Amino acid sequence: MTIKLQAPRGTQDVLPDAQPYWLAVTTAAKQTTKLHGFQRIDTPVFEDAAVFEKGSGDTTDIVEKEMYTFEDRGGDLLALTPEGTPAICRAYLEHGMASWPQPVRLYTTHQMFRYDRPQKGRYRQHTQIDCEVIGSYDALVDAECIALLWEILQRLNLSEIEVRLGSIDDPGPRRAYIERLKDYYRPHLSRLSEDSQRRFERNPLRLLDSKDDRDLEYKEHAPKLVDQLSDAAAAHHAIVCSALESAGIAYRIDPMLVRGLDYYNRTVFEIVPTDDERAQGTLGGGGRYDGLMEILGGPPTGGMGFGSGIERIILEMQKRGATLQPEAHAEVFIVHRAEGGPAAAFRLASQLRRVGRATIVGESGRSMKSQMRSANASGASFAVILGDDELARGAAIVKDLRDGGEQAEVALDAVAARLAAD
């Protein structure tokens, strides 16, 4: 019978105590993207479902089993964004950004929704920092995006991180490679794990991602895509590598790196904590998506970007021992206990706010002790006390709460000026 209302599974409330972490991360993203010439964009929380069905690929897990799709009252089929890139690309096309100076560098922080089984670092609603560079095929842009995420994490004192870099070539050569890969695996198929047997049919690249003991031996000797790239992709990859080196960014070539989205080509990357083995430890990842615009009905347009999970970044910060304190609720706390006190307190509070001071008025009817306790708990630096005697002569007591508790009587009209923000 007790109906307990609670946040839906896989969602969470970000309480005041956690806000400093969110502020730190979003600030780091804002500042770093600005240093790279990115502009902010915001796209809707939901989109026409087709944006993702076409954009992300309708055989990807994200679209196939994780999308929150619904029909609205007008009969339109909509989806809560599971993934930012197609939405931003849609906006690029819709607003004719191809006529802006190219490439267009865009960033956002965006709610993502995926119907998935929650666990540590994985939620049904999560927030991503999303950066996209659209309108460029330049390999240097790939390196810049990787560097950008790297710098954001560095700014948050997450230094024990590692870039994993790979290339999945362009669609044509990749298809040829996949055939070679399947040829390699086919004779061993019956000895592979069930998961891998399924992957063989559905997503052969994932064979290389298996952690099952039964697959390891075959995986080790499997042909690696990154070793046999087409000339164009190999040259592209080489530029990315040397750019990262010149920027002093440590990376590791990961031949097994496979991303879960269909549209990637050439560069793919992830950044993970050095000491974290878990799959959900990935702090961010992305890659190049030169074919995506065409899939969405636009002209051929190069693109490169990444997403990074804010919740995961915060978990990692806390794991490293970061402790950020919430700000004080107020700077000035007005204690009133007098005939006419409430009205005077209310008026004084608005004067204080006009001069830039965060001000809280104590609860009417509570004792002075009680209000002073509230003042202390609010973190305010000053209490302004309105008592009968002072009010009778048009004055108030200003008390410094920070240490000794010095106090002085000040004319009511002079309080705001005295406590004004610098």
Pick between residue 118 and residue 234 the one whose CB is nearest to RNA: 118
Q: Kindly give the interhelix angle for 341-354 and 412-419, rounded to the nearest 10 degrees.
A: 30
- Dig out the tokens for 22 from the structure: 């969110």
Measured distance CA(81)–CA(69) in Å, rounded: 9
Q: Minimal distance in Å, beta carbon 101 to RNA?
A: 28
Pick between residue 293 and residue 310 the one whose CB is nearest to RNA: 310
Q: Minimal distance in Å, beta carbon 116 to RNA?
A: 6
Q: Which residue has the tokens 């609670």?
A: 6
Pick between residue 239 and residue 358 the one whose CB is nearest to RNA: 358
Measured distance CA(143)–CA(258) in Å, rounded: 18
Q: Which of 301, 274, 307, 272 is nearest to 289 (CA)?
A: 301
Q: Minimal distance in Å, beta carbon 75 to RNA?
A: 27
Pick between residue 94 and residue 389 the one whose CB is nearest to RNA: 389
Pick between residue 240 and residue 344 the one whose CB is nearest to RNA: 344
- Dig out the tokens for 403 from the structure: 């240490």
Q: Minimal distance in Å, beta carbon 227 to RNA?
A: 21
Q: Which are the contacts of 362, defined by CB distance < 8 A and separation ≥ 6?
A: 333, 334, 335, 336, 345, 371, 374, 375
Beta bridge partners of 308: 129, 284
**Phi and psi torsions of 137, nearest 5°:** -110, 5
List the end-to-end C-alpha distance of the chain, in Å, as a whole number. Answer: 56
Question: In terms of C-beta density within 10 A (0-12 exposed, 13-18 middle, 19 or more buried), how is residue 295 classed?
Answer: middle
Beta bridge partners of 129: 109, 308
Q: Minimal distance in Å, beta carbon 265 to RNA?
A: 15
Q: Minimal distance in Å, beta carbon 293 to RNA?
A: 18
Pick between residue 9 and residue 95 the one whose CB is nearest to RNA: 9
Which segments within 215-293 are labelled E, that is strand?
Answer: 251-253, 265-273, 284-288
Pick between residue 391 and residue 416 the one whose CB is nearest to RNA: 391
Q: Minimal distance in Å, beta carbon 100 to RNA?
A: 26
